[in-house]
């Protein structure tokens, strides 16, 4: 995997067309979310124009924690193996108060999952892997140095003005997907409000290069001995790079704090030595905000353009890639005329709810880490002091609740069989399991076919066309257990892996009805 | 190390979380302080202690709670 790459601007034939060329899907922003969506749509035979105002992969490591669910999505797209090999796999963490360890945690205590709980991998490596895959994909037309400069969001499509080094040109899109990040110019062009809270405390985020014997665990300190009264986080990345977050308080001057002569002594105090090189430094103030809606006529927002969280919990990039996962199959059905456009309303409701869950968790963690009033600080200190003595107080300690996929409770795409309440509820994300005899060795790999999956004994008999049937083989006890596949029960999984329906004694008609509903026709 | 091992196992005070969502409970308490100064928070805490002590309504449990609070540092 090779990061830091620059790409050439290339003139497109669209720039010389007599009339604006119309494309089914234009994506703005070739970051992790836009690239993932472009690749997913191309695999579903939907051609995509992907534009980005830059001509290179972003520098600085930025997002570093990629969660199991995200890796399952990348695996479906054929990219996870190289990422996991390059990344630092971890699942354990420790939380300290001063010198003392308060507790340790393990994010993936059970076996039978293909992907690890988390890997740490610099965002530029993830983007490089996605760009390589996109460049090999004939259905994606990736245009660097193409900036969305004008947008007319009409009922029948979006009319775009695109600025390039050769001047402006026009395009039309049936659907415009804005994956253009927290400062989303598309949001600005539509004049949409991005509502939420800003946190006062500033945080220093630094990547340092050093060889160190610390384990590959997430270490978090409240009031560390080397950084009194604040918090600190230490986390390993590939290439002997370590991510360090230091809380600076509300009054820190961001420009001053970024100067190496200020940063280095802080990190020296933390590490106890000066044998390291500063790779990247940034000073942040965090915000938790989202758009009221992610779907605005023919324009759909995903990732940071739609919602923003603080980094405690690794919910930024992970939730953005899960937006792409939710949108890809639905948009493909709509573009191909197999589902009505109203199917996309479920993207809005499901991912708005997921964003709210991420914002809630991120806000709670940020408030615990950086209390906003003397009373909150007192309460936080009380929880920390009781944590070594009692289980309940440990549960109150919050250094970030790490990203888990949201359950789409009450999804309009779900069907419920009232006579059957075992296994996973409709809306819940799938649980991986090894498969003894199927064409894929893991359930998570079967999603690479791009189809919905019907799981259960006799599934092949009753699976409608286009739905992949998987029947448990001898030895698939984990699968049977995780989905309560007993006495003829079956489960219908959406192409994004969420449970669409579960059945006690499925008949073909019931499965067909559930597929109709899942695809927005029921 | 279990909680019971540190303060004796005969107690009736709950030491494991009784909340389905402990983060929500903590936030509820924290937000009650948001617009208060130190003095206001101290007074709020005292009132909450009395309200919750009465809700417990059990002197033995209250005694264990006081001992646990004094033990923490």
Q: Which of A263-272, A368-377, A458-467, B7-16 has the lowest mean pLDDT?
A: B7-16
Residues A434-458 have pLDDT tens digits of: 999 878 899 999 999 999 999 999 9
Which of A372, A376, A396 faces B22 most closely, judged by CB atoms? Answer: A396
Spatial strand order of the sheet with A65-67 comes to A65-67, A118-120, A88-90
- Candidates A455, A467, A471, A461; CA nearest to A503 is A455
Which residue does chain B place closest to A381, by CA atoms? B73
- Looking at per-residue pLDDT, the higher value among A58 and A261 belongs to A261
- Which of B6, B17, B18, B23 is most worth mutating to test chain A (most A CB atoms within 10 A of its CB)? B23
* Cβ-Cβ contacts under 8 Å, A388 against chain B: 1, 72
pLDDT of residue A393: 97
Which residue ranges make up each domain of chain B? 41-73
Interchain contact, A385 vs B72, CB within 8 Å? yes
Query: Looking at the DSSP assignment, which residues form a beta bridge with residue A103?
Result: A95
Over residues A160-184, the mean pLDDT reads 97
Residues of B in contact with A315 (CB under 8 A): none
Chain centroid to Cα A403, Å, comes to 9
A150 strand-pairing partners? A161
Tell me the shortest Cα–Cα distance from B63 to chain A, in angstroms.
Answer: 16
- Topology of the domain comprising A13-87+120-194+291-360: FAD/NAD(P)-binding domain (3.50.50)
B21 CB neighbours in chain A (<8 A) are none
If you measure CA to CA, which chain A residue comes closest to B69?
A: A386
pLDDT in tens, A16-56: 999 999 999 999 999 999 999 999 999 999 999 999 999 99
Domain boundaries, chain A: 13-87+120-194+291-360, 407-522
* CA–CA distances in Å: residue A267 to residues A18, A62, A204, A432, B50: 59, 19, 10, 40, 45
Question: For position A2, what pLDDT does the model report?
Answer: 61
Q: What mean pLDDT comes out for the span A409-424?
A: 92
Is there a contact between B30 and A395 if contact means CB atoms under 8 Å apart? no
Residues A59-69: tens digit of each pLDDT: 777 899 999 99
pLDDT attached to residue A64: 94
Contact A364 B29 (CB under 8 A): no
- Among A364, A386, A388, whose Cβ lies nearest the Cβ of B27? A364
Tell me what pLDDT residue A1 has: 56
The predicted complex's ipTM stands at 0.89
Angle at A416 between CA A415 and CA A419, to 5 degrees: 150
Rounded Cα distance between A432 and A421, Å, is 20
pLDDT of residue A109: 81
The pTM of this model reads: 0.95
Under an 8 A CB cutoff, do A368 and B37 touch?
no
Task: Write down the pLDDT at residue A419.
Answer: 83
The maximal CA–CA distance of chain B, rounded, in angstroms, is 40
What is the Cα–Cα distance from A518 to A509, expressed in whole angstroms?
Answer: 14
pLDDT at B6 over 50: no
In the predicted model, what is the mean pLDDT of chain A?
95
Please check the confidence at residue B8 and state whether its pLDDT lies above 50.
Answer: no
pLDDT grade for B10, boundaries at 50, 70 and 90: low
A108 shares contact with chain B (CB less than 8 Å): no
Q: Is B21 part of the contact surface with chain A (CB cutoff 8 Å)?
A: no
Q: How confident is the model at residue A379 (pLDDT cuts 50, 70, 90)?
A: very high
Given a cut of 90, whether residue B5 has pLDDT beyond it is no
A407-522 topology per CATH: Glutaredoxin (3.40.30)
Provide the percentage of residues in chain A whose pLDDT is more than 70: 99
Give the span between the Cα atoms of A53 and A145, in whole angstroms. Answer: 4
Provide the pLDDT confidence category of residue A263 given band limits of 50, 70 and 90.
very high
- Cβ contact (<8 Å) for B37 and A382? no
Backbone angles phi, psi at A177, to 5 degrees: -110, 120
Q: What is the pLDDT of residue A212?
A: 85
State yes or no: pLDDT of A175 exceeds 80.
yes
- Per the CB < 8 Å rule, is B38 touching A379? no
């Amino acid at each position: 995997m090779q990061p830091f790459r620059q790409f050439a601007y290339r003139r497109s034939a669209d720039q010389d067309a007599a009339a604006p060329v119309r494309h089914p899907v234009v994506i703005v922003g070739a970051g992790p979310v836009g690239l993932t969506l472009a690749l997913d749509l191309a695999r579903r035979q939907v051609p995509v124009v992907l534009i980005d105002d830059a001509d290179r992969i972003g520098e600085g490591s930025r997002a570093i924690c990629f969660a199991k669910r995200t890796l399952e999505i990348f695996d479906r797209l054929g990219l996870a193996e190289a990422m996991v090999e390059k990344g630092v796999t971890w699942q354990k963490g420790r939380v300290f108060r001063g010198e003392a360890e308060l507790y340790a945690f393990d994010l993936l205590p059970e076996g039978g999952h293909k992907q690890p709980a988390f890997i740490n991998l610099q965002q530029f490596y993830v983007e490089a892997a996605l760009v390589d895959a996109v460049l090999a994909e004939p259905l994606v037309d990736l245009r660097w140095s193409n900036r969305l400069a004008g947008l007319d969001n009409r009922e029948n499509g979006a009319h775009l003005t695109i600025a390039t080094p050769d001047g402006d040109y026009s395009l039309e899109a049936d659907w415009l997907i804005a994956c253009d990040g927290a400062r989303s110019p598309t949001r600005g062009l539509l004049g949409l409000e991005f509502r939420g809270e800003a946190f006062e405390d500033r945080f220093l985020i630094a990547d340092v290069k050093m060889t160190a014997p610390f384990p590959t665990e997430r270490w978090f300190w409240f009031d560390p001995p080397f950084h009194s009264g604040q918090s600190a986080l230490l986390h390993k990345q590939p290439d002997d790079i370590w991510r360090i977050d230091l809380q600076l308080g509300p009054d820190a001057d961001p420009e001053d704090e970024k100067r190496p002569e200020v940063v280095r002594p802080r990190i020296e105090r933390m590490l106890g030595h000066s044998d390291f090189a500063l790779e990247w430094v940034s000073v942040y103030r965090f915000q938790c905000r989202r758009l009221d809606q992610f779907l605005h006529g023919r324009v759909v927002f995903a990732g940071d353009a739609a919602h923003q969280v603080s980094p405690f919990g690794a919910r930024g990039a992970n939730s953005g890639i899960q937006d792409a996962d939710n949108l890809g199959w639905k948009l493909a059905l709509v573009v191909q005329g197999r589902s009505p456009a109203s199917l996309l309303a479920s993207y809005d409701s499901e991912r708005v709810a997921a964003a709210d869950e991420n914002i809630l968790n991120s806000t709670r963690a940020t408030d615990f880490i950086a209390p906003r009033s003397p009373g909150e600080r007192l309460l936080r200190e009380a929880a920390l002091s009781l944590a070594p003595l009692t289980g309940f107080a440990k549960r109150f300690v919050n250094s970030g609740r790490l990203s888990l996929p949201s359950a789409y409770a009450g999804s309009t795409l779900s069907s419920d069989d009232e006579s059957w309440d075992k296994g996973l509820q409709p809306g819940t994300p799938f649980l991986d399991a090894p498969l003894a005899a199927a064409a894929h060795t893991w359930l998570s790999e079967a999603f690479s076919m791009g189809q919905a999956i019907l799981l259960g004994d006799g599934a092949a008999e009753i699976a409608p066309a286009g739905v992949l049937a998987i029947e448990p083989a001898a030895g698939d006890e984990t699968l049977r257990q995780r989905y309560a596949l007993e006495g003829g029960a079956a489960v219908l999984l959406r192409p994004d892996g969420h449970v669409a329906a579960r059945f006690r004694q499925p008949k073909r008609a019931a499965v067909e009805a559930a597929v109709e509903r899942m695809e927005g026709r029921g | 190390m279990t909680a019971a091992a540190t303060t004796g196992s005969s107690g009736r005070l709950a030491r494991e979380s009784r909340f389905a969502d402990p983060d929500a409970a903590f936030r509820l308490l924290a937000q009650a302080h948001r617009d208060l100064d130190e003095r206001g928070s101290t007074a709020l805490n005292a009132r909450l202690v009395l309200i919750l002590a009465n809700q417990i309504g059990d002197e033995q449990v209250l005694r264990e709670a006081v001992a646990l609070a004094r033990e923490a540092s």
